Amino acid sequence: MKREGNILKIDHLEIGYPEKGKSNNILYRGINLCGQSGELIALIGKNGIGKSTLLRNISGLQSSLNGTINYFDKQKQAYSRADFAKMISFVSTEIVNVTNLSVFDLVSLGRFPHTNWLGKLTTKDVNNTARALEMVGMSSFARKNVNEISDGERQRVMIARTLAQDTKMIVLDEPTAFLDLPNKYEIIHLLNKLSKEENKTIIFSTHDLNIAIQEADKIWLMLDDKIVEGAPEDLILDETFNKIFEKSNLRFDKIKGDFKMQKKHHCKIGLIGEGPQYTWTKKALERLNFYVEKGNDSIQYVKIETGNNFCKWTLLDDELKHVFNSIYDLSIHLKNTNPSADLTAEGMTGRPKN
């Protein structure tokens, strides 16, 4: 499918709230961003920095204080209300809670820019509504009452409503805020799929950084003084993500690709093994504030042995040998025998050589 290049361009945007008789309450200024067709964009930033305000400005629901937002090289004022509603749709973070309304009827409301003044659905409108439900895997729920479905299903329905609206751009304000972990991944993966297959620009705000890194084509990262945009991989490699956590102990590990708290290690421990057992044992030992070295050069070390349907962890400490059948049992033993302490020369000393 042919892509149309930049369909959204934001220049020197200033967002906030005008105050009567006072200077404007400015949340953010100097915003320069762009969005291409077929692109999934994640907006990330701390609470209160202005994510929702920016999305409402982009969606035309709130006026900017300064700067410009161009849609297909034209500002909003150049479009009629009906044409603008055919170009961009918005899903808020609030949970829709309505009575006596079926899933099909809720999704069909997305056809409002395409219907006549009576709002009567044509055959085309009905077909588009049915197709939207099919795209999000909710066809079998069409006749159910909206109040009878789960939060994850309801969010799929709200996405279907925007698909029925048939806009080039979809903007979602924290679409996974109230969902459990499997549904969070499923919704964002669905947005990724729709952006590619339907060639739409989809922008969503989120606090789920790991999901955004895996699924988004581009990230808009709102820092205190600027917004940085780029592919997740570029922002990882140049350590931009760590700028979010400058005043905390949280750091992004660009080798492992995850977030972790900076800890003080109270002593060394060696680890022998391989595969996922090694990886997850190492994580458990680090959680206990051990500095983990590969091999058996430390005063104490753990050896992992695996076979057909079994795994055991052997701890060798001062020539004493302890065998465990789970990481949990190993952890309990280490917590009871290695009280936490700050790093010392003795604690960080390697295993004596013979």
Tens digit of each residue's pLDDT (9 = 90 or more) over 28-84: 889 999 999 999 999 998 888 899 999 999 999 999 999 999 999 999 999 999 899
At 83, give phi and psi (nearest 5°): -70, -35
SS (H, E, C) 152-166: HHHHHHHHHHHHHHC
Q: What pLDDT is attached to residue 323?
A: 95
Q: What pLDDT is attached to residue 118?
A: 65
Residues of the chain with pLDDT under 70: 1-5, 20-24, 95, 116-119, 246-248, 261-266, 339-354
- Fill in the amino acid letter for 309: N
Q: Got the DSSP string for 243-303?
A: GGGTTSSEEEETTTTEEEE-----EEEEEE--HHHHHHHHHHHHHTTEEEEESS-BSEEEE
Q: What pLDDT is attached to residue 228?
A: 93
Tokens of 184: 């969070």
Instruction: Give start-end residues of each CATH 3.40.50.300 domain in the chain.
Output: 1-87+168-249
Q: What pLDDT is attached to residue 4?
A: 60
Number of H helices, E strands in the chain: 10, 17
CATH fold of the domain at 1-87+168-249:
Rossmann fold (3.40.50)
Is the CB of residue 149 less than 8 Å from the CB of residue 156? no
* Separation of alpha carbons 354 and 351, rounded Å: 9
CA angle 212, 213, 216 (to 5 degrees): 60
Q: What pLDDT is attached to residue 116?
A: 67
The strand pair at 267-272 and 300-307 is best described as: parallel
* Separation of alpha carbons 307 and 326, rounded Å: 14
Q: What residues contact 31, with CB distance under 8 A and at least 6 apart?
A: 10, 12, 13, 14, 15, 54, 67, 227
Is the CB of residue 45 less than 8 Å from the CB of residue 27? no
Is the CB of residue 312 less than 8 Å from the CB of residue 342? no
Residues facing 259 on adjacent strands: 252
Q: What pLDDT is attached to residue 341?
A: 39
Q: What pLDDT is attached to residue 136?
A: 92
